[in-house]
Structure 1
Amino acid sequence: MNRTDPTAPSPDLVEEDARGGVHNLVTRGFLPPSVDVTPAFTHGTSVIQNSRVKIYDRASQPVKSMPYTNPSGFNMASLKFDMSTTPATSTPSPVAAVVSGGDVSKMVVTPIDISFDAPLSSHPPVEQPKGGATGGDDTNGGDSSTIHNLRRNVEKIRGYNELLDTYSLHQFIIRKGKTLSDTPEFISFQRTTEDLWGSVSTSIQELEAMLTSYSVPLAYVDGQKLMKIAAMDATTRGTTELLSCILNMDEVSSLMRRPGQRYKGSQGPDLAVVLIQSVWRMFLTKKRLKNHHGNEDAAVIQRIYRSYRCFSQLQQRLKLVREADLRIWDAQMQRFRANWDTMKMQRRVVVHVPSFASDDRTRLKMDNFSIRQNLQMARMCAIADPNVDIIYISPFELSPDIQRYQVRLLQLGGITDPQTRIRMLHPENVDRFPEHFSLTTLLLYSPHCLKKIKRFVRGKNAYIVTGNVGPEDKRLAIALQIPLLGMDPDKALLYGTRSGGKRIFMAADVNIPMGAHDIYDEDELIQSLSKLIAADVDQNEWLVKIDADQSDTGIASINVQQMQSVAKVRAEKRDMKHMAAEYFQQPDVRDAVLRSIFNELTESYFAANITPCFPDVREARIIGYASIDYMSFADPKTLVGGGRPRQRLWAMQVVPGLTNTAVSFVMFAFLSCSQFNPITGKCHLQVAAPPPAATSATVAPITQAQKAVETILSARPPNGAVVCGPERAYMVLDYIYHPNMATLHFSTFFNTCRLNGVSFDLQRAIGAAFILADSLTAGVMGLMCIGENDKEAFRIARQAVELIGDQVGVQALPDSLSGERLGNFPYLLAIVKRTFDLTRHIVRQVDDISFRDDDASVATYTVAIPFDFHERLSHMSAKTGKNAVCEVVQGEKTSHTQLYHVQLPSPVLKGADGSIKVTAYFTRILTPLPAAIKQSEDQLVVFHAPHVLPSPYATVTQTTRIKLPSTHIERHSTVDPVSVKGSVLTYGPYTAVPGGAPPSSANELITVHFQHNEPFLTMTSLVKEVDVSMWGRVSTEEVVDVEHTGAALAGGVSRFEYSEHDAVSASFRSFVAVLPKHAVNVYYRDQIGNITTSALSDLSNGHTELVLEARYPLFGGWKTQYYLGYSEPTASVLVHANDRFRLEGHLSTCVEHAAVDDLTLKVILPQGATNVQVTAPWLHVEITHTTRRQSFLDAGRPVVILKKTNVVPAHNDVPFTVSFDYPGQYYVYREPALVVGACFGLFVMYMALTRLWNQARQSQTKQD
């Protein structure tokens, strides 16, 4: 039954309601309250049965019956006999004589027909004798007869009522809306339905109200039908059901259907008024709604039209803006091309933007995208030209170490003062946009950087040099109003594809590999590939490349060796070759072959003159940098007479823009001061410097390095002579990524390289030079090695790479763990002993790892934490086998784990054994099962973990031990081998565990379901305030919200059961707080007030132990709040050294075994503290800016706020430090001096006013 709305339909009874029990069914109304539920508990009829108590109406209370003292049923003592003679004219009724004693007028006639066996009137009147004796005998006989007849009539009356209740139709009348309740039928109906009279009475009242509203004069009601309808639910009972109880239904229904009949009742005028008003209001509302809908439709039409008009205007405006920008672009590019001959000889500014313009798919798949864009820092070598100033735009802010290194590199090339000619800028909004945005796009969204560029190039000749040209580069040139040294983005997109490059090569008549281009769908690909295979059947493998793929990631290979059709064609060709072999044995054919070989050898075979195509390209308005990819190979088809095969050269692709290879070649020429010989194809050092050319006053002299750079782009050597000095070759690794390089210090790394011979010799122009695109913390660098020949360059590169491996350690991460391999280094073998301590609700994991690397030294060890555990990770620390503390640095994420790098204090030498101990704490990782328990039940929890430690290294053996708080284990996984000894579970040892393999199935996960009655003490919120005072006290107060995060309590709480099961219950009432040394003024209270049930005692180590007891025990899901405060001497906490004060304190709470979800630490420093510095040696600590707190006599005290989530007591092992400057030791007396001075000033003022007042009174007295 719906308690809120009784008229609403009752819900359906489902199986879950039935399982709730009888009490639930009665409470929710599914069972009536009058139902006897005893059989449901006794499984049958019981000895004592319950029934509904009858509640009678007060008005129907019967008159108290007289005690029966006579068989007649009446009290004969109250009867009076009339001894007078009965008159002859009347024959009084014996009943009347007996009852009323002769007063007939006062009798109440009962409408019941009473008949006697023999009427009294039939007996002749008896005349009383005068003596009276005889008459007295006759009178006694008559009274006896009368009483007997009366008793018989009473029995008939009782029988009549029973017959009426049993056989009556119980039809009663409702006249003019009122039930005639005095009729015998209605009285009998009321007696019959006394058990259901409440609902029957309600139904009768509904009938009366309905008939009254329609002014029905008379209605006959069938009581039997009314009883059935009354037993129905009130929500399902309607007018139709009520009308079905009326016998004269035709008359009543015709009367009710008569128009206006319902308004003839007593409330008819009111109902008519309400109807008229409702109809009129409906009409008005309908009219307003129609107008509202019309207005809405009109508003929608107007809004669509306005949107369309605004969109059209915007399109028109954008079209005009683009046309204007295009005109500006064409005009400035035309001026740039026309003035290039003079501009390249004048002073100019070159804006280098090494952007990578490509589609989002390519940029999203590139790791370290921003660093890859910065790999062309060698562009700064262009300042070898004294007329060139450079603005270099980097994708991020370059660290001072990188800037100093780049300046030093330029100074090695002969540039005396490079700082004055180079501006290194970066977009200021780089951190506000996604990492895969190109550098040009970020620069367009950084107005301050654009203003700096405009200010620097104002009034100077300038142009932009980008990387891969894209549409955003054109927008940048228009925004800066600087021309772009590069081709139009539309043409760059056309020529930058593989198909566009092939069209250029075909037009230039350059050799290209056999293939097809300009393929746009799958059918065309299959047709072209079929033609190519048929044309060259002997080719086994074919490459399929994506047309627009600047990063060379869309390449696939197809091997046709297994195709049956290809095998058949090859067999036929072999048959033809046998016939051709006989043909070549003829003498005339053999002579012709010899003549052709001779003629071919007399031609200029080793050199070919290629006509320059630059004039034709310039006429097509294609300017700027471009690179062409060639492939050279020995063609076995060109074997003649068993000699060596001829070299073939194929042009593969045109790359518009300045590529990394071209920039590395410029850096090589800059550092070695070598010249490229186009005849030999090699670089040679200059034998002697040519005489300096005459320079004008406005043109700066050309340096030796600039001549080397200019030689790179020259078609022939200067002065028509070829200078062949010592040969130089170089090898470049522009992108080396190793995550452990983040642990290297800048100066230490280069000193180590210098000591190991990895450096650059300026005199011989031989050695290794590092290309730093970012700081070493990014783990990325480049390497250029210059040697006398290619083998020497390769040897230097190998030596440098080996040195890097020795410095950063060896690390090899399989693809299954990281998604890609981070470096090409040997594996690291390790032995792992893992221990889970589950005796508390804070889970502690201890990993004892022993490792050895036979290929290189180890400086960093990487630990992998699964994502499920990493979400609950609170604290991690590491120590070596000699208890030396190691620094733990969070690394990158993989597909399954989060990596942490443990930096060893000193590298473990190659082949030596090393060991570390990694300790991690996790909170809320134990799940109660069941989630709710009763007070006296034990708490059970579930723990899940991988059966082996996820490690990026291959391990020799792994063993996992799980310490439980009790020996009660419900169940545990059986990943063999497994053993149980007491409360310790041991899994393993597992041998030859591959590195980086995550659990592949649920069977490889450990699941332990065990008893855990230890308290789950969790502080959901902790606000800790440390008030530092220079007057001798440092006060600390903790405001804590405590919650029991174990299994929730089901049912009520019994104090008796709690006292009995206190030893095994999962609840807790008290917890221990270990206060610092010298703690005084300790107080502990909750929201109500002080709690005096706590105990304070001193420990042997000098600390103070405080046992805190709550007002009530905390069961699962229960919460409480308390305040804990104490003070410490300032001298024991605050240290004064080097004119600075340093405060050291603990981050977490002083309560043992408590986990903190959300912690806020406020350090209130004394007034006057400046230069505040905070050191918090934990991961992910949020340090907000200092605020100020005003209080009495304080103008504002600085407040340092530290916030951290998921805090455990292990965070107290390393204290936080707050250092600040304080004006002096006498500054503390400033506030008392102000108070004393203010009081003295008030005293002086009071004295002065008092004297003036006395003098005024004396003057007034004298005048009077």
Structure 2
Amino acid sequence: GRLTTSEEGDTLDTQALDTAIRRTESSIRRRAEEYLKTENKKVQILPVVEDPEKKTVPIPTWKPPLANVPYMGVQRRKIPEPSPGEKHKSALTKRLLCNPMHPRNRAILQEKFGLPLPELHKTSTNPVKLAENAYPPAPPLHLHLLPLWLPRTQNLAVLAPIAISKFPFTIIMGQIDPMAADFFRFKQHYCLSWGNVVDALQALEKLLREFAVPLAEVCGEELANFAQSWEVGWRSAPPVMGLLSVLENREQVLDLVLRPGQRYKGEGGTEAAATRIQSCWRRYLAQTTHCRRKWAARTIAISWLMHTQRRHVRKALQARRFRQLENYRYRAQHLAANWKHIQASKRTIIHIPSLGSFFQSQCMRLKWFDVLQNIQLSRLCEIRDENVEVIYVSPRHLGEDLLHYYTSILKHHGAAEADETEPTQSRIKRFTILTPDAVEYFSSRNMCLSTLLKYSPRTLKRIRNLIQGKEAYIVGGVAHEDDLEVADELGVPILGPELALAQLYSTKSGGKKIFAGAEVDVPPGQGDIYSLNQLHETMAELMAQNMDVQRWVFKIDSEHGGRGTAYCDVCHLSCYRWALEEYRHHGPDLCNSQWERIRFRYLDEVPGWLAHHAQPAKSSCYPNWACFLKTFLRQGGVVEAYPPSDSVTCLTVDLLLEPGGEVTMLSCGDQLHGSCQLETVGSSVPQTSVCPGTLHSICMRVGQVCLQRHIIGHVSLDLATFLNPTTLEQEVWAIDLDLRYSDQLAMTQMLLMMTGGTLDCRMCRLEVPVPIKDKCSRPVTNRYAVIGSRLFHTILSMVLHTVFLKMCRAQGIGFDLEVKHCQGTVFALHDSSGRGGLGMITISEDLQGALVTFARNLSVIHQEISSPKMQGETNFKDLMKEIERVSQMTGQNKIRAVEDNTAIP
């Protein structure tokens, strides 16, 4: 028949069209069968790898003759918009298609909407056999990684809408119904290229099953195009974006695929989740192990490098210290060989009042450590010898007030002398005060003066320029290893022992070794105690052997100035009375069994006795016995008896152990104590408590033993004297030895500077010259002085030095240089900023007068600077009580001496 195709009246012969179609189909079928037979007979071999440079010969393809087929264009027409009811129906259909596996949804889709749904296989894991000659499935895709690398915004931009497909078909739950009409049409249309299509289709099915996509609408043309463009075939997995681009509902599917955790709801989700968890955990373990091993290797490498570097530095320092020690010994030999010549000629003394190694453990917690090092500022007065120039290294910058004060004192050298042989300006030029550069950089750290000077190159250069071409040597303080380096930098000797000897013999235990070698009397005791059991056993043995001792003293080896001292009284022991009765009943010759019984009784009670009744001498340093005992056992210490007498006098003697082998006594004085009887704050010069001959003998013996052990320089010897209650004879005990320049010696230098006199320690006399008009038979007269080197009052810090001196002058406290009677008061100032401490010297014709003047000065100063509501912290009151006690004792001794003289016929 004929068919009208347009409004113009054109007609088309349909019979001719059907005939042409049948002819074309038969021709295609015939040619396809021939092609398949030919291909099946061929031997399938792998393609040969040819040279890429050779030209490939294209394979001719067969094309059916389409000349007889009329052209029919695509008829486009406007599709009307759906009604509201249809929109509701479409939305409901989409919701139902999201889960078509549910029986209720399948029933609604079939009954209400008439949608034919294919029967689903029971198993969803096996792929559907689409064709007998289908290619093997594509390799598995790692699609669980898709949400990690596929950004949502880029996917939406790439997957743009496409035209309506001519061969659409659906995939439900990742499976295709091979009997569906739409799929059959698609398969029949692309039968010639079905091998590539089936690979892409299997990959798409696998993707949909793995992500549990309920419904996917596939565009057949896009799938075929994708399969043709996928040239590598089964050798690699298809791109995921390419698979999703063939879907018409790609946006819904992509939203579902990108949903977190969706991969683990589909096929093999449990295994994928387990694999992912295991891989993450293994990665974490591997990363952790790797990081730990990397950290350990880095730590070991750095530690080894630091160890190697420290070893090299240690070796270099050891070599440097050894070289410095060798230089010290060489210069010490030169100093010993030329000592007489050096003492008789012009020389320069470099004073470094350093508190070194023995204060290392305590200096960090000491307040005003630099002021403590500057207490010996009166060493400047050594310029009273016309051949001496002094370079004083100060641990802190001195103010103009201190410089003016000491300059005015040093101008009046030898105030009692009738004729001044040296001009004042020349005398002032013979002393120099220097402050190390490092003071500004280490102001917050308590460092000893030698260390500060070591890190001060400009100050060292200044000293080298000052001593160039002159005989010079260093007089230090407490020995420190940096003293050797400073001496090596300056190229001068040190008037002092080696560091190892100083550390050995300047301790309490080391001093007892010196005293044992000198065969001088020492208190009963024991040194080198380092354990608690040793302490208890030693105490029990000492107390059992010395029943008359009422108090035992404990001293830390490395402490000085009464800081590390504690005591405990025997009267607190419950067994003491029983032991004393046993001792009195049997006499001093106790048998071994009785003595052992007393010792064991003591040993049982000593731990509790010490824990409850022992107390430190200075609670500001050690608040209780437990703190003291911890330091005592760590650093070692000494236990010794306190003199068994109510009247005990301690004295200090300063010795100079000359490198030439002679021992010289430089100063001697009876100690004055403050709140604690074991802390020295001053002395009376010269001493009057021991016979001068006895004192000289003890000092010479101790000095010779020190020289035998290669100890040279300044040494301070502490003695205690008392009347033995049994024999009523005077006993003298050697109790302490300090290998350093003492505070008493520094104040003695100022005393001799102001008076112009000499201190004869052999006869214990302070002799000063008499003015010319007062000379009769004797050119000199005796004087007595009281020295206080460690006076402190907190309110003094509020008063300027100029105001303080004017106040004292108004109260009649001062030293009149014009009267020239060598009597009065002289102050030693230490600090310009703190001003809390000072030293004071009172000089009088007799000892009692000097003591009274000293006590009066303390009382006047306290009343002037304090008020009833603001007393401040001070040691003035305790020292006044001590002076009153000594003054009474001195008065009684004077009366007894007068009575003895009158009793002589």
Equivalences for residues 952-971 of structure 1 within 5 A: none
- Measured in 2, the distance between the counterparts of 1:272 and 1:177 equals 27
Amino acid across the alignment from 1:469: A
Equivalences for residues 653-692 of structure 1 within 5 A: 653-678=736-761, 680-686=763-769
Q: 1:468 to 1:180 in 2, by over 3 A?
A: same
1:706-738 per-position Cα deviation (integer Å, ceiling 9, x unaligned): xxxxxxxxxxxxxxxx98943311111212222
- Measured in 2, the distance between the counterparts of 1:312 and 1:530 equals 47
Amino acid across the alignment from 1:624: G
- Measured in 2, the distance between the counterparts of 1:466 and 1:60 equals 107
1:610 equivalent to 2:534? Answer no
- Measured in 1, the distance between the counterparts of 2:868 and 2:370 equals 24
Partner residue of 1:635 out of 717, 724, 730: 724
Structure 1 residue aligned with 2:867: 810
Amino acid across the alignment from 1:408: S
Q: 1:571 to 1:376 in 2, by over 3 A?
A: same
Structure 2 residue aligned with 1:1057: none
Q: Which of the two has greater strand per residue?
A: 1
1:317 equivalent to 2:316? Answer yes
**Residues 842, 853 of structure 2: 8 Å contact kept:** yes
- Measured in 2, the distance between the counterparts of 1:296 and 1:558 equals 56
Q: Secondary structure at the match of 2:711?
A: coil
Structure 1 residue aligned with 2:889: none
Q: Secondary structure at the match of 1:543?
A: strand
Q: Secondary structure at the match of 2:557?
A: coil
User: What is the Cα deviation at residue 754 of structure 1?
Assistant: 2.1
**Residues 324, 484 of structure 2: 8 Å contact kept:** no
**Residues 383, 430 of structure 2: 8 Å contact kept:** yes
1:355-414 per-position Cα deviation (integer Å, ceiling 9, x unaligned): 112333322443322112111122111111111111111111111111111111112223
Structure 2 residue aligned with 1:330: 329
- Measured in 1, the distance between the counterparts of 2:102 and 2:739 equals 104
Equivalences for residues 297-312 of structure 1 within 5 A: 306-312=305-311
1:349 equivalent to 2:359? Answer no
Partner residue of 2:731 out of 638, 648, 651: 648
**Residues 354, 376 of structure 1: 8 Å contact kept:** yes
Equivalences for residues 193-232 of structure 1 within 5 A: none
- Measured in 1, the distance between the counterparts of 2:546 and 2:323 equals 53
Q: TM-score if structure 1 supplies the norm length?
A: 0.38
1:494-517 per-position Cα deviation (integer Å, ceiling 9, x unaligned): 111111111111111111111111
**Residues 730, 790 of structure 1: 8 Å contact kept:** yes
Q: Secondary structure at the match of 1:797?
A: helix
Q: Secondary structure at the match of 1:730?
A: strand
- Measured in 2, the distance between the counterparts of 1:616 and 1:473 equals 24
User: What is the Cα deviation at residue 349 of structure 1?
Assistant: 1.0
**Residues 546, 554 of structure 1: 8 Å contact kept:** yes
Q: Secondary structure at the match of 2:316?
A: helix
User: What is the Cα deviation at residue 775 of structure 1?
Assistant: 2.3
Structure 2 residue aligned with 1:424: 433
**Residues 176, 216 of structure 1: 8 Å contact kept:** no
User: What is the Cα deviation at residue 528 of structure 1?
Assistant: 0.8
User: What is the Cα deviation at residue 312 of structure 1?
Assistant: 3.6
1:797-827 per-position Cα deviation (integer Å, ceiling 9, x unaligned): 223223322432237879xxx9xx445579x
Q: Which runs of 5+ in 2 are unaligned?
A: 1-82, 114-119, 131-171, 176-201, 210-215, 219-236, 244-262, 264-274, 415-421, 591-689, 879-905
Q: TM-score if structure 2 supplies the norm length?
A: 0.52
Amino acid across the alignment from 2:354: S
User: What is the Cα deviation at residue 562 of structure 1?
Assistant: 3.1
Equivalences for residues 99-498 of structure 1 within 5 A: 183-184=107-108, 262=206, 269-271=238-240, 306-357=305-356, 358-414=358-414, 416-417=424-425, 418-433=427-442, 434-498=444-508
Amino acid across the alignment from 1:675: T
Structure 2 residue aligned with 1:737: 792
1:219-270 per-position Cα deviation (integer Å, ceiling 9, x unaligned): xxxxxxxxxxxxxxxxxxxxxxxxxx99x9xxxxxxxxx9997258789722
Q: 1:259 to 1:361 in 2, by over 3 A?
A: same
Q: Secondary structure at the match of 1:376?
A: helix
Q: Secondary structure at the match of 1:517?
A: strand
1:782 equivalent to 2:839? Answer yes
Q: Secondary structure at the match of 1:366?
A: coil
Structure 2 residue aligned with 1:553: 563
- Measured in 2, the distance between the counterparts of 1:616 and 1:514 equals 21
- Measured in 2, the distance between the counterparts of 1:678 and 1:174 equals 118
**Residues 741, 780 of structure 1: 8 Å contact kept:** yes
1:331-354 per-position Cα deviation (integer Å, ceiling 9, x unaligned): 222222222221122221111111
- Measured in 2, the distance between the counterparts of 1:363 and 1:307 equals 29
1:769 equivalent to 2:826? Answer yes
**Residues 773, 781 of structure 1: 8 Å contact kept:** yes
Q: Secondary structure at the match of 1:397?
A: coil
Aligned pair count reads 542
1:774-810 per-position Cα deviation (integer Å, ceiling 9, x unaligned): 2275232211111112221122222322332243223
Q: 1:375 to 1:62 in 2, by over 3 A?
A: closer
**Residues 359, 559 of structure 2: 8 Å contact kept:** no
Q: 1:538 to 1:684 in 2, by over 3 A?
A: same
- Measured in 1, the distance between the counterparts of 2:840 and 2:770 equals 27
1:182-227 per-position Cα deviation (integer Å, ceiling 9, x unaligned): 74278899xxxxxxxxxxxxxxxxxx9xx99997899xxxxxxxxx
Amino acid across the alignment from 1:804: I
- Measured in 1, the distance between the counterparts of 2:345 and 2:85 equals 121
1:438-466 per-position Cα deviation (integer Å, ceiling 9, x unaligned): 11121112222111111111221111111
- Measured in 1, the distance between the counterparts of 2:854 and 2:112 equals 118
User: What is the Cα deviation at residue 485 of structure 1?
Assistant: 0.8
Structure 2 residue aligned with 1:974: none
Amino acid across the alignment from 1:795: V
User: What is the Cα deviation at residue 758 of structure 1?
Assistant: 0.8
Structure 2 residue aligned with 1:585: none
1:796 equivalent to 2:879? Answer no
- Measured in 2, the distance between the counterparts of 1:387 and 1:216 equals 121
User: What is the Cα deviation at residue 470 of structure 1?
Assistant: 2.0
Q: 1:381 to 1:291 in 2, by over 3 A?
A: closer
1:569-592 per-position Cα deviation (integer Å, ceiling 9, x unaligned): 212233346999xxxxxxxxxxxx
- Measured in 2, the distance between the counterparts of 1:179 and 1:764 equals 132
Partner residue of 2:810 out of 755, 778, 796: 755
- Measured in 1, the distance between the counterparts of 2:294 and 2:364 equals 49
User: What is the Cα deviation at residue 680 of structure 1?
Assistant: 4.5
Q: 1:270 to 1:320 in 2, by over 3 A?
A: same
Q: Which runs of 5+ in 1 are unaligned?
A: 1-55, 64-170, 190-207, 219-244, 249-257, 581-603, 640-645, 690-721, 827-1264
Q: Secondary structure at the match of 2:753?
A: helix
- Measured in 2, the distance between the counterparts of 1:57 and 1:549 equals 104
**Residues 354, 476 of structure 2: 8 Å contact kept:** yes
Q: 1:297 to 1:759 in 2, by over 3 A?
A: closer
- Measured in 2, the distance between the counterparts of 1:292 and 1:436 equals 43
Q: What is the identity percentage for the equivalent residue pairs of Structure 1 and Structure 2?
A: 24
User: What is the Cα deviation at residue 474 of structure 1?
Assistant: 2.3
Q: 1:621 to 1:213 in 2, by over 3 A?
A: same
Q: 1:177 to 1:368 in 2, by over 3 A?
A: same
1:953-997 per-position Cα deviation (integer Å, ceiling 9, x unaligned): xxxxxxxxxxxxxxxxxxxxxxxxxxxxxxxxxxxxxxxxxxxxx
**Residues 172, 180 of structure 1: 8 Å contact kept:** no
Q: Secondary structure at the match of 2:527?
A: coil
Amino acid across the alignment from 1:634: L
